[in-house]
Structure 1
């Protein structure tokens, strides 16, 4: 922002005040003090000088509506100083010297504090030079010294006001930039939140629906295989497939429901027992062991452990070609620990898929640790170990101190008449 646009209203008020004062002084025939800035004031010259200042401000605003180039600003500042001195020389009232305060005020906005202070010193020098030319022994004249001191005080106040105005302008600019950055951060947070929600839904669909679809596929294959040999087994497999389908539908509904819905009141041990029971497969024997109390472990950790066991059993059924798998869940005062071990063919250098990646993300978000290793034994196999620390108990809120008062009652025996 250029200086003229910043102080246009200030300069216009000062121009008008000087013009009114000069016209009144001339029309009232108050005479002219020969010890001031020149010969008999010329009203026409004063009007021309004030009109030139107004025109200069108007031209700058039209030529440079956004910001005045530095070289042009220097030229305009010098031209204004020359016009101020000229108007002061033509104004017999002496009020026009107040226009000099516009020089450091304008310079502060255009060039900064150092140039503003330097221009204020130049203005003081100009005033002193005028006194030396027009007032004999000006340094001994109390009125002249008083005027000089008032001009110096005005310049100091002007520089201070300009500093405050510039600081406020820069503060507004910083606030606008901060608002822009805050809006950008808010958009990023919204985008990240949406992404996190999409990832969460994708994990839930993969871990829940993928597991049930795998179970349904196995059960349908079982029904097809036993359709002719054992119709009862085939019918049971179809019934289990229908039950798994209903469970899959419920999982989908739970995934798209908001988190306002209360969690199930079933324990993790009960949920894992149902999971193992629904994965009935004659070719895969599953054992489940649960030790310890899950009280004190939060719902997020329990949900993470359930989804991890679900994904691990699904992976064993799909890829491990195992005959036995054990699921052991242990709760203690420090952590919850899930260990899923199978006797299948091991990792075999395979890369992790989306299911294991989602499992790692869940465990990480719950503050836990996941390890997947090959078993070092002839039958190979894999071991999945997940540990999630138990959250510290909530700190009890101290109750306000109870203020008690005690008083001692002393019984004084009555005094007899004697």
Structure 2
């Protein structure tokens, strides 16, 4: 699973610059004006073969009446709660500031690894002046220049090493099934959960983000315990805080990681948005089983073709989730809400399904015969045999003479056909290509 690494600090200390340096691409908008980051930035990144999710917690919108200290405390508290490791960034040019001391005091209360980092150390004079940061009473202090990328590699290596004992991907108890309700604020997650459970378990309001925390509820269905996480999307913030959509990211990512099945909620009126696509991509990247639930269907004018046409339009925007079954529901009226439980049962079964090696190879041979593997530099690529090596998700190893040369489009073809032949509805499939062991 991917650990979450959060960068925290007051405005204009270089959080977005460090984010870009670690992510190795210019994704965040950087500027010299404090608070310039207008959107929460998060990205799936990799460093020397170690995958992780990097979050830039900058971006609160500064106004004349903004309570900056409170906003920074909110950011820092969220990082403490949700991240697996924290980089606390300070400014070596400006020196130690009262706000830095406040943040450090908060971070000293957590047992999570915190890396106290002084940025913009770009000369010997600045290096000498960093001695004042020892007033914080913490060691070690890391000195870097995110702009010049000096010291960044050593820092991120140490941060990644500290996350190797991150939380398990799925926190199920015995035979408990853990599912998460994922979606943008105000798509009706809490209303949907309430209707599913049959009572008002969660705070519901027309205002986005009124669920204050991620809430777990355990219930029984067909003699099985199901733990359902309402991701909140998600906590309530004041008007001068980050937009609610920006606060939801780490909580949503953690909920996806904890669950085996994601109920991905969309708003039928608004359709698929950019934020929806980002969340869908994370579900796919983490290889979670998924059911797409289109809420507020009662607000859509319909004829006999509306349902099918709408579902087709949804998957045009999120084609990487085309393995997921979809339902159009209304949390308000209860339309089809209970049908989700029956789908959950079917999807969990396929997510944990095993296929015998003999049966798998018979089907694999037929799939390749219908659409032969492309040649690579005049060389025939052969798949000798395959076998299933895991479940949740179903994972298969295919032994071949050219494991690095299988085109992505052909990998997708194999995945689609294997899913169709073995009825892996609702679950992603992981294909691993290996050289055939030498005899």
Scaled to the shorter chain, the TM-score interval is under 0.3
Q: TM-score, normalised by structure 2?
A: 0.22
Which is richer in strand? 2
Q: Which has the larger radius of gyration?
A: 1
Which is richer in helix? 1
Q: TM-score, normalised by structure 1?
A: 0.23
Higher relative contact order (CA 8 A, sep 6+): 2
